[in-house]
Amino acid sequence: MYIAAVILSALLALVSLAAGAPKAQLKGSVPDELVAKGLSAGLVRFIGLAEVAAAAGLIAGIWWQPLGIAAAVGMLVMMLGAIRYHAKWGDYADAEARGAASAPVLFALVAVAATATLAASQ
């Protein structure tokens, strides 16, 4: 179970870092699109910093599972917020936006799996 926990944690951490770093720096097209849809720049930066912190927590949680569990649960909460955001903007009904909007659903499931495997490997 520990190997699965390490793989899921590392995968989720990489995705979280890749998604969070541009938001934290307010650079790239994604932060610009989020601001254009009504989120403040401060909120976008906060989300990015939370994603970067989750990535660090997931990696540290490989050695200290309670931290990894907390980071994975935090990641799940962020992904549920992202799902709500995409549903609010109708991205699941739009064929062009559906692919990007489906990513938080997948990562929410990975966060649940990471939480379960980290808890089981204690």
| pLDDT tens track for 53-105 | 999 999 999 999 999 999 999 999 999 999 999 899 888 888 888 888 899 99
- Give residue limits of the domains in the chain: 2-120
**From start to end of the chain, where are the E strands?**
none
Task: Render the burial of 62-76: b for 16+ CB within 10 Å, e for the rest.
Answer: beebebbbbbbbbbb
Record the pTM.
0.90
| pLDDT tens track for 3-27 | 999 999 999 999 999 999 999 999 9
